[in-house]
Homo-oligomer: A and B are copies of this chain.
Amino acid sequence: MSTIEATAAKITDQPIVEQLIEHTNAEMEKVNELLLSRVDSHVEMVPEIANYLISAGGKRLRPMLTVAAAMMFEPRDNQHVSYAAAVEFMHTATLLHDDVVDESDKRRGQLAPRKIWGNSASVLVGDFLLGQAFMMMVEAGNLDALGILSRSAAIIAEGEVFQLSKAKDLTTKVDDYFEVIKAKTAALFEAATEVGAMAGGASEADRTALKKYGAELGIAFQLVDDVLDYGGLSGTIGKNVGDDLREGKMTLPILHALQNTNDVDAQFIRENLGDPEANEQTVARVVAIMKESGALKVTLDRAYEHANLAKAALAPLAARNGAHILIEIADYCVERAA
């Protein structure tokens, strides 16, 4: 086996997420540098909170998608770096605000910032990062890309309000659920890949393909998150499992279980939906009902469907630089819950 073949074999043996990290590494270093320089402030809480989250080892999936999308074409002037950093700041701002809204105690495996610095600082530093995201976009100088990202900011917030208004609402439909996840999650994935394509100078058709890829991947990603919230397909009970139940979030596993179980079990779910004190035993029974009614399996099946749509969107571009990584990432996003 020649050296080249050995290297190729080594690369393909790597888990796909490692391949994505390696593929985008040089550009992501620029992104990280930009992120750090943009949270610099003499107001100490700003870099403290922002860096706490940024360095907490989030996967940086969204900015990597922006960079990888750009790298399929011919990125110039580091626009893709600015866009990727803006996408990560928008995501970080959303996390800060979501933790306040959901009263979360944990984020990325450590204490949520609001538990250390308080809700007020979390809200305000989120606002700061949003402002910085737009400043970076302005500096990149593309009004179209700015339009895409500002629209997604409004859509994300609107989707979160919709989700909030549907909490514990037993009349919630499956369509409502999909509307929520398209807005609160898929909108940023969609914007991330679309502005990446733009920064690479993609054609209209290629840009549309990347936009579609991001949107479908985002839907799949959130469906999987909503399965993971109940311990994944195996339904393993651990810490944080059942948070969506406690918050009364009407996710697909809940909606499906309510529709496909007996009256007694459905009543049990209804009684515990939105009870912040629901204990491990209660969650375990809800998870058992979900497994029995096929709710977790059905949700994961829907995730596979959308992952397949994401892959199909990129199929015409499969020969482009790094496209195979993005295609395989779609499977990875679903498999983490299987």
Query: For this complex, into which size category does the number of interface residues on chain A fall?
Result: 35 or more
Q: Is the CB of A158 within 8 A of B100?
A: no
Q: Is A46 an interface residue (CB 8 A)?
A: yes
Shortest CB-to-CB span from A79 to chain B, Å, is 14
Residues of B within 8 Å of A152, CB to CB, are: 131
Can you identify 18 A-B contacts, CB atoms within 8 angstroms? A101-B124, A120-B164, A121-B161, A124-B160, A127-B130, A127-B153, A130-B130, A131-B150, A131-B155, A131-B156, A131-B157, A134-B134, A134-B150, A138-B146, A138-B147, A138-B150, A141-B143, A143-B143
Report A141 CB to chain B, min CB distance, Å. Answer: 6
Query: Which among A41, A100, A134, A139 has the greatest number of chain B C-beta atoms within 10 A?
Result: A134
Give Cα A31–Cα B228 distance, bound, in whole angstroms: 46
Is the C-beta of A271 less than 8 angstroms from some C-beta in chain B? Answer: no
Q: In chain A, residues 122-153, which have Cβ atoms closer than 8 Å to a Cβ of chain B?
A: 123-125, 127-128, 130-132, 134-135, 137-139, 141, 143, 146-147, 150-153
| Residue from B101, B127, B138, B141 in contact with A120 in the complex, judged by beta carbons closer than 8 Å | B101
Q: B125 touching A153 by the CB < 8 A rule?
A: no
Question: Residues on A close to B: CB < 8 A?
Answer: 41, 43-46, 97, 100-101, 119-121, 123-125, 127-128, 130-132, 134-135, 137-139, 141, 143, 146-147, 150-158, 160-162, 164-165
A161's partner among B100, B124, B137 (CB-CB below 8 A) is B124
Q: How many copies are assembled?
A: 2
A135 partner residues in chain B, CB cutoff 8 A: 147, 150-151, 154
| Residue contact A100 to B128, C-beta cutoff 8 Å | no
Given known pairs A138-B143, A143-B141, the reply for A124 and B157 (CB within 8 Å) is yes
